[in-house]
Amino acid sequence: MRTILFVSFLFFSQLAFAKIKVRITTGEWPPYISNSLDNKGLLAQITTEAFAQKDVAVQLGFFPWARTNELSKSGEWDGTIAYARLKEREKYYLFSDPIYVGRYVLFYLKTHPFNWTQYSDLKNIPMASTRGFGGMGDRFIQAEKDGLIKVERLTSDIQSFNMLRTGRVQAVPSDLEVGYVLLQKIYGKDVQLFAHHPLAIQVSEYHLVISKKVKDPQNLIDTFNDGLKKLRHSGRYNEIIRSWYAKPIYQNAVPSHYLTVPK
């Protein structure tokens, strides 16, 4: 009897001290998220450490982005990270406070420059972009739906940039930091063949999103937001960003004058 009581006590004690676990599905989007990077990328590290402030463990699952969307939307996994807020997504997710702010721009070959101030200026500029990506914002997506711009949707950013390199499209919308990191990885020194238009399509806030189909999604969002606030107030948030900007993945790819290094 004493043995049974002891085992039961040990079992429930372990449960009491076990961390809550949140399951986050995501895809490859370096330098923000990647299974091959230290701490799984800049945004993944911020997300993990913010949850850790509240004693919540994070399980990351890497899948193709289309599959990531399905798994998180359905509630099979709790949510995903690095999503910009779109009206369409608000049907399925709750959004956290912003984790990070990026800039979506149009990349092009220096041999084929163009200028634009409104979407009608881009009607004869064929583009390629990854299927399901929405960081370029609602206005871009609406212009695409309305036929004001022509966007070929593909399965990866690599495919999009390869089409740009071979002249099959003239522009690729991408987060600035992601774009330069990927171009450096694909083309090495030939990254100098590319440039981006200075006009941002969208200043994008990237969020953790939790599926509305999971149990008590608002509690997970509130828990994360509280942890993120603690991370910011402690100075650790800025420390993480500075450490990433100093890594080779940034130093070798992203021009430093495009980065705002936090103090």
Residue 3 has pLDDT above 70, yes or no: no
Cβ neighbors of 12 (< 8 A, separation 6 or more) are none
> What pLDDT does residue 16 have?
39
Residues 155, 109: one domain? yes
9 domain residue, yes or no: no
Asked whether 188 and 180 are in contact (CB, 8 A), the reply is no
Asked whether 173 and 129 are in contact (CB, 8 A), the reply is yes
Give phi and psi for 230, each to the nearest 5.
-65, -40
Asked whether 202 and 84 are in contact (CB, 8 A), the reply is yes
Report the DSSP pairing between strands 151-154 and 127-130: parallel
> What pLDDT does residue 238 have?
96
Residue 4 has pLDDT above 70, yes or no: no
Tell me the residue range of the domain where 235 lies: 18-101+205-258
* Other beta carbons less than 10 A from residue 67's beta carbon: 14
Choosing from 202, 224, 242, the residue where a domain stops is 202
Structure tokens at 38: 């230290």
Cβ neighbors of 242 (< 8 A, separation 6 or more) are 261, 262
Choosing from 202, 221, 239, the residue where a domain stops is 202
| H-run or E-run covering 202 | strand 202-211
Give per-residue pLDDT as tens, 23-33.
999 999 999 99
**pLDDT band with cut points at 50, 70 and 90 for residue 1:** very low
Residues 116, 194: one domain? yes
* Other beta carbons less than 10 A from residue 145's beta carbon: 10
Structure tokens at 123: 């009607």
Tally of structural domains, the chain: 2
**Comparing C-alpha atoms, which of 62, 99, 92, 50 is closest to residue 208?**
99
Residues 174, 251: one domain? no
Residues 137, 249: one domain? no
Tell me, rounded to whole angstroms, the distance of Cα 41 from its chain centroid: 10
Residue 174 has pLDDT above 80, yes or no: yes
Mean pLDDT of the chain: 91
Alpha carbon distance 17, 11 (integer Å)? 10
24 domain residue, yes or no: yes
Choosing from 167, 183, 202, the residue where a domain stops is 202
What does the DSSP assignment read for 75-123?
TSSSEEEEEEP-TTGGGTEEE-S-SEEEEEEEEEETTS----SSGGGGT
Residues 90, 214: one domain? yes
Residues 118, 177: one domain? yes
Alpha carbon distance 223, 54 (integer Å)? 7
Residues 193, 122: one domain? yes
Residue 130 has pLDDT above 70, yes or no: yes
Residues 78, 163: one domain? no
> What pLDDT does residue 119 have?
94
Mean pLDDT of 169-176: 96
Residues 168, 47: one domain? no
Residue 96 has pLDDT above 50, yes or no: yes
169 domain residue, yes or no: yes
Mean pLDDT of 180-197: 96
12 domain residue, yes or no: no
Coil, helix or strand at residue 68: helix
Residue 255 has pLDDT above 70, yes or no: yes
| End-to-end Cα spacing for the chain | 61
- The CATH number linked to 174 is 3.40.190.10
Residues 190, 125: one domain? yes
Proportion of the chain above pLDDT 90, given as a percent: 81
pTM of the model: 0.88
**pLDDT band with cut points at 50, 70 and 90 for residue 135:** confident
Alpha carbon distance 103, 201 (integer Å)? 8
Coil, helix or strand at residue 66: helix
38 domain residue, yes or no: yes
Question: Which of 17 and 237 is assigned the larger pLDDT?
Answer: 237
Residues 227, 168: one domain? no
**What count of Cα atoms within 13 Å lies in the side-chain half-sphere of residue 228?**
18
Residue 227 has pLDDT above 80, yes or no: yes
Question: Residue 98: is the preceding peptide bond cis (ω within 30°)?
Answer: no
Residues 244, 177: one domain? no
13 domain residue, yes or no: no
107 domain residue, yes or no: yes
> What pLDDT does residue 233 have?
97
Mean pLDDT of 126-141: 88
> What pLDDT does residue 137 have?
87
Alpha carbon distance 52, 88 (integer Å)? 30
